[in-house]
């Protein structure tokens, strides 16, 4: 039996759908009562997980306070810690006591940092360098889980994905997808940055591999589609998936960065123009895993999903 927290979220829904498709036994968790779910109420350091953990061999812990663009909490780090650290520790301790064999934790590449230099992708053995409260909370949770593993014998698997996309994706990626479907001239023809992404179907496939693979215990894994894209390439592929051809203007990146700084949008420009690459070579070597879906397949499914919801 697999316990899935965060089952109503973007990744959680995709994971549960794939578990159902593969006819694997799983138990989805929600905070409030839902048909077919185990309701656990507030997810915090005092949550009682005893009923939800009964008979469970593997926990897939996806529930989290996610990174937000417009933070409103007075103390963001405390808010992230309450859910991402304290609630995770509580669940993991109860899981270890209940005899759970493996605890799979969905972390974030933000534990490594916000960007990479050319030709120097992040690896699982890099010294962590989180730059915001969300990334720090995920690192603290990882460190606590490894301590609990040593104390209880429960294996811990830590997965750090980059930006996740797929049908139902929201926030910045959904906005970019809507704009890419329009006949709009983009100023990214001269931008040569490289960014790693992961299609939710590829992430779910790797998570399910980790549920049973004998060599993944107490390790950190990076996962991506295995193909890194510039911002221009990403927009072009999204446009093609929507049935259009993107028009790229070769504006010098320095000019774009200067304009963004003048407008007070330096952080937004970094997300568009900067690089963030991850090396999945160790993931492939240790597990034999390869992404089952190409970037083109993932983007096509994402665009098709958006179109289906719009109708």
What tens digit of pLDDT does each residue of 19-29 get?
999 999 999 99
Residue 69 has pLDDT above 80, yes or no: no
Burial of 89 (0-12, 13-18, 19+ CB in 10 A): middle
Residue 67 has pLDDT above 70, yes or no: no
Closest CA to 139 of 114, 120, 163, 158: 158
Is 134 an annotated catalytic residue? yes
Name the residue with higher pLDDT: 102 or 185: 102
Residue 7 has pLDDT above 50, yes or no: yes
- The answer as to whether 269 is a domain residue is no
Which residue range(s) make up the domain with 285? 2-165+196-227+278-292
- The answer as to whether 186 is a domain residue is no
What is the Cα–Cα distance from 260 to 253, expressed in whole angstroms? 11
pLDDT above 70 covers a percentage of the chain that reads 95
* CATH number, domain containing residue 126: 3.40.50.720
Closest CA to 140 of 82, 183, 195: 82
For the record, the structure tokens of 217 come out as 């215990």
- The answer as to whether 59 is a domain residue is yes
- For residues 157 and 217, is the Cβ–Cβ distance under 8 A? yes
- For residues 113 and 130, is the Cβ–Cβ distance under 8 A? yes
Mean per-residue pLDDT for 188-209? 95
Binning pLDDT at 50, 70 and 90, where does residue 311 land?
A: very low
Closest CA to 89 of 156, 6, 30: 156
Residue 73 has pLDDT above 80, yes or no: no
Ramachandran category for residue 23: left, alpha or beta (phi over 0 → left; psi -120 to 50 → alpha): left
Residue 170 has pLDDT above 70, yes or no: yes
Ramachandran category for residue 80: left, alpha or beta (phi over 0 → left; psi -120 to 50 → alpha): alpha
- The answer as to whether 93 is a domain residue is yes
- For residues 166 and 98, is the Cβ–Cβ distance under 8 A? no
Total domains in the chain come to: 1
- The answer as to whether 246 is a domain residue is no
pLDDT of residue 70: 53
- The answer as to whether 254 is a domain residue is no
pLDDT of residue 282: 95
Mean per-residue pLDDT for 79-102? 93
- The answer as to whether 78 is a domain residue is yes
What is the Cα–Cα distance from 310 to 92, expressed in whole angstroms? 40
- 10-21 and 200-210 helices, crossing angle to 10°: 60
Mean per-residue pLDDT for 46-55? 92
Considering the candidates 26, 134, 165, 199, report the single residue annotated as catalytic: 134
Residue with tokens 């070597």: 285
DSSP assignments along the chain, one per residue: -EEEESTTSHHHHHHHHHHHHTT--EEEEESS--TTSEE--S-STT---HHHHTT-SEEEE-------SS---SSHHHHHIIIIIIIHHHHHHHHHHTT-SEEEEE--GGGT-S---TT--B-TTSPP---SHHHHHHHHHHHHHHHHHHHH--EEEEEE--EEESTT--HHHHHHHHHHTS--EES-TT----B-EEEHHHHHHHHHHHTT-TT-TTEEEE---S--B-HHHHHHHHHHHTT---EE----HHHHHHHHHHTT-HHHHHHHHS-B-B--HHHHHHH----SS-HHHHHHHHHHHHHHHH-
- The answer as to whether 203 is a domain residue is yes
pTM of the entire predicted model: 0.92
- For the chain, the average pLDDT equals 90
Binning pLDDT at 50, 70 and 90, where does residue 76 land?
A: confident
Residue 276 has pLDDT above 60, yes or no: yes
What is the Cα–Cα distance from 156 to 68, expressed in whole angstroms? 26
């Amino acid at each position: 039996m697999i316990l899935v927290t965060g089952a109503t979220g973007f990744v959680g829904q995709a994971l549960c759908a794939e578990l159902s498709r593969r006819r694997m036994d799983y138990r989805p968790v929600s905070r409030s009562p839902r048909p077919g779910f185990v309701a656990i109420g507030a997810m915090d350091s005092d949550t009682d997980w005893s009923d939800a953990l009964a008979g469970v061999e593997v926990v897939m812990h996806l529930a989290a306070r996610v990174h937000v663009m417009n933070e409103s909490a007075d103390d963001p780090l405390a808010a992230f810690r309450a859910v991402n650290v304290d609630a995770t520790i509580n669940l993991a301790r109860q899981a270890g006591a209940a005899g759970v064999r493996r605890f799979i934790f969905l972390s974030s590449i933000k534990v490594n940092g916000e960007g990479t230099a050319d030709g120097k992708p992040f690896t699982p053995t890099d010294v962590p360098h989180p730059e915001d409260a969300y990334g720090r909370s995920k690192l603290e949770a990882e460190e606590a889980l490894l301590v609990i593993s040593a104390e209880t014998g429960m294996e811990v698997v830590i997965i750090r994905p980059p930006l996740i996309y797929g049908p139902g994706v929201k926030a910045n990626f959904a906005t970019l997808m809507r704009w890419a479907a329009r006949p709009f001239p983009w100023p990214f023809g001269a931008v040569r940055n490289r960014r790693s992404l992961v299609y939710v179907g590829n992430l779910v496939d790797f998570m399910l591999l980790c549920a049973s693979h004998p060599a993944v215990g107490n390790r950190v894994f990076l996962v991506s589609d295995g193909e890194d894209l510039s911002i221009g390439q990403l927009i072009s592929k999204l446009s093609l998936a929507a049935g259009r051809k993107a028009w790229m203007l070769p504006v010098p990146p320095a000019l774009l960065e200067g304009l963004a700084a003048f407008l007070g949008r330096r952080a937004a420009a970094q997300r568009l123009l900067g690089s963030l690459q991850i090396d999945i070579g160790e993931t492939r070597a240790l597990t034999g895993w390869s992404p089952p879906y190409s970037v083109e397949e993932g983007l096509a499914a994402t665009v098709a999903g958006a179109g289906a919801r719009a109708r």
